[in-house]
Chain A
Amino acid sequence: MKNESDQQWREQWEAAELKDFDLHIDTENLWQKIQKPEKKRTVTFTWLRYAAAMLLGALLTFGLTQLGKQEEVLVQKAAQPGPEDKAVLAAVPATPQRTLPQQNDSGPAAPVRQATSAPRVPASNQVATARKESPPMEMPVKQAAGTLPAQQEIMQTPIVPEDTRMASVRPKVKPKTIHLLDLEKKEPAAQKQSKFMMALDEHINPKANDMAFSTKVLTKQF
């Protein structure tokens, strides 16, 4: 059930006009706004400011990115060798590439070490290699005379194949398995010192033994 005063207010409200409330609105102007909303609608300053800030931020980011790229290019250019450097590099003969026997399809399989001109493995050390190798080239007489003995020694140091060296240095030994129980058993035995060793120790460092003794006594007392 509605209030009587509500009904009364509603009727009064319906009968009232805008001018009764001192509200003066230019309805014609409002109609023009409604008719042409796209043309008349203005962007508020807040939005304009926001858009400007966004644009500025985007431009700044773009500029910084471009600057970074330019710096990177300059650094790369500086790192690359110039035309003079290229000429110098071209003058240096390229080191001959060694071809592995498996990779060389055309020619016969040759050992890698043989491709080099330096003296190689002496015949006495060629136990591990099955392939027969040519004897090491002898140094020319003039060159040998001009060089120091130490240099000669270094130069004549035979280059042994890696597998041969490994075989000679580390003989294959069957790994011994040690159990934890064995270790526990061995430790007391290792700790046991012979009388001779104890006497020797006392002779070498008598104060330490005295101190150990004194501490033992003290601990027993307290």
Chain B
Amino acid sequence: MNLSERDLVNYCKQNNAAAQRQLYQEHIQGILKLCLRYLDNKTDIEDIAQHTFEKAFNKISTFQIKGEGSLRAWLHRIAINECLMHIRKNKTFQLSFTDEEAWLEDKMDHSENDPEPVPAFELRQVLDCIRQLPDGYRTVLNLYVFDEMKHEEIAQTLGISLNTSKSQLSRARKLLKQLLNSTL
């Protein structure tokens, strides 16, 4: 059975086991990859993936499809929230610099609109360096670069100010570049 996204959602709303299985098979890789960026522990990654699908199947009745890719975006949003909740629960989430003046200092150094080109690295190297970043930096970088969130959304999601989000991203980039250069 290979259903379209709309049919898949409709069958899942009727608690169809085959449809749920298909949804799981189509999205489990993406969800695990997403969790891999936020979390280090394999067990945590498995747990978060499990919670994500459980929550998705429980809440799918409230989901309304808005076009192709909206189901994926919805599932990824649930996974991101679960990851952030997990990080907060374990009290490992600490923004490295919370003062907004730091962002202004960064602006003096280099503008976000004029980023320095980063030499090409293998994705594996990039991921390893991202996972070495402090939680605050890593979270903001993940949300901005890979999950394509805007600073307003990041600020709202993490409960921080807009300037703090910008500051975190700027410093995360700096540190990531240093880490990548150190691998050469």
Question: Could you tell me which A residues sit within 8 Å of B by CB distance?
Answer: 1, 3-6, 8-10, 12-13, 16-18, 20-21, 23, 25, 27, 30-31, 33-35, 37
Once the chains bind, are B115 and A3 in contact (CB under 8 Å)?
A: yes
Residues of B within 8 A of A16 (CB): 33, 123
Please measure, in the bound complex, the distance between the C-alpha atom of A20 and the C-alpha atom of B126, giving whole angstroms.
13
B residues contacting the other copy or chain, number (CB 8 A): 31
* B residues near A30, Cβ cutoff 8 Å: 28, 46, 49-50
Instruction: State whether A25 touches B145 (Cβ < 8 A).
Output: no
What chain B residues lie within 8 Å of A20 (beta carbons)? 123-124
Provide the residues of chain A in CB contact with B28, threshold 8 Å: 27, 30-31
User: Which applies to chain A's interface (DSSP): helix, strand, loop or mixed?
Assistant: helix
A25 touches B124 (CB 8 A): no
Given the contacts A4-B117, A10-B145, A10-B146, A25 and B45 also touching, CB distance less than 8 Å: yes
Determine whether the beta carbon of B50 is less than 8 Å from that of A23.
no
Distance in angstroms between the alpha carbons of A9 and B130 in the assembled complex = 12
B-side interface mostly: helix
Q: Which residues of B contact A (CB under 8 A)?
A: 17, 21, 24-25, 28-29, 32-33, 36, 42, 45-46, 49-50, 53-54, 57, 113, 115, 117-118, 120, 123-124, 126-127, 144-146, 148, 173
- Residue A9 contacts which of B25, B45, B113, B126 (CB distance < 8 angstroms)? B126
What 9 pairs across the A-B complex have the smallest Cβ distances?
A5-B118, A12-B123, A3-B115, A6-B145, A34-B53, A27-B28, A1-B113, A33-B50, A16-B123
Look across to chain B and name the residue whose beta carbon is closest to the beta carbon of A23.
B36
Q: Is A23's CB under 8 angstroms from B42's CB? A: yes
Q: Which residues of B contact A10 (CB under 8 A)?
A: 145-146, 148
7 further A-B contacts with Cβ under 8 Å, apart from A21-B127, A25-B49, are: A13-B123, A13-B146, A18-B32, A21-B124, A30-B50, A34-B57, A37-B54
Shortest beta-carbon distance, B114 to chain A, in Å? 9
The complex places the Cα of A131 from the Cα of B63 at a distance, in Å, of 102
B29 to chain A: which residues have CB within 8 Å?
17-18
Partner of B146, one of A9, A23, A33: A9
User: Quick one: closest A residue to B113, CB to CB?
Assistant: A1
- Measured between alpha carbons, how far is A21 from B49 in the docked complex, in Å? 17
Q: Residues of B contacting A9 with CB < 8 Å?
A: 123, 126, 145-146
| Distance in Å: Cβ of B112 to nearest Cβ of chain A | 8
CB pairs A–B below 8 angstroms (14 shown): A4-B117, A5-B118, A6-B145, A9-B123, A9-B126, A16-B123, A18-B32, A21-B33, A21-B124, A27-B28, A30-B28, A30-B46, A34-B50, A34-B53
Compute how far the CA of A13 lies from the CA of B29 in the bound complex, rounded to whole angstroms.
12
